[in-house]
Homo-oligomer: A and B are copies of this chain.
Amino acid sequence: MTRRKVKLAFIVNNSSRKTTYKKRKRGLLKKAHEIFTLCGINAGAIIYSPYDPTPEVWPSVEGMNQVITTFRNLTEIDRHNNMVNQQEFVQQRITKADKLLLKKKKDNREVNLTEDMYRFLQIGQLTIPAGGHNNPALAKDLNDLGYLVDQYLNSLNRRIQILEGGSDVEIGESL
């Protein structure tokens, strides 16, 4: 019966190492459980060993994942940070895009009206490069433009007619 003080060093003997492992593993998990229960704190333990096929986890896989996640969130770690940064980056892009879309869809009549009209005008101007007066594509563009303008003016006339109580106000006629 030699129960001497244990020297803190790797146990060379295979079987006794495994025995010690099993005993101490149980102890460790018990301690973890105790500190959790007594202090109500978040704690976890992971133990791998060549002896167990799956890593020993306490308090539970889910609980441990929470612990790990929080741990990773709190500490600045390469892999996680990359993930977070990527997510933030993507999120920022999404937010930006969403804002843009929201802005596009915003139901402020005047803003939409002005913006759309200016964009329209700008596009119309872009269709006319300086000195490009013999470009066949431009004639087509102009025709399309004329058609659209006619449609627009017609609708505008109809609206004015409604607004002003039936008087038929001619605004214009394109081409």
Contacts and interface: CB of A to CB of B under 8 A. Distances in A.
Contacts of A65: 77-80
Interface in A85-125: 86-87, 90-91, 93-94, 97-98, 100-101, 104, 109-110, 112-114, 116-121, 123-125
Query: How many copies of the shown chain assemble into the complex?
Result: 2
A39 B68 contact: no
A164 B135 CA distance: 11
Given A10-B38, A61-B75, A97-B97, 17 more contacts: A9-B38, A10-B39, A17-B40, A18-B39, A20-B38, A21-B39, A31-B31, A43-B47, A44-B47, A48-B74, A54-B74, A117-B148, A120-B120, A121-B148, A128-B159, A133-B165, A149-B171
5 contacts: A24-B34, A41-B47, A54-B75, A83-B87, A121-B155
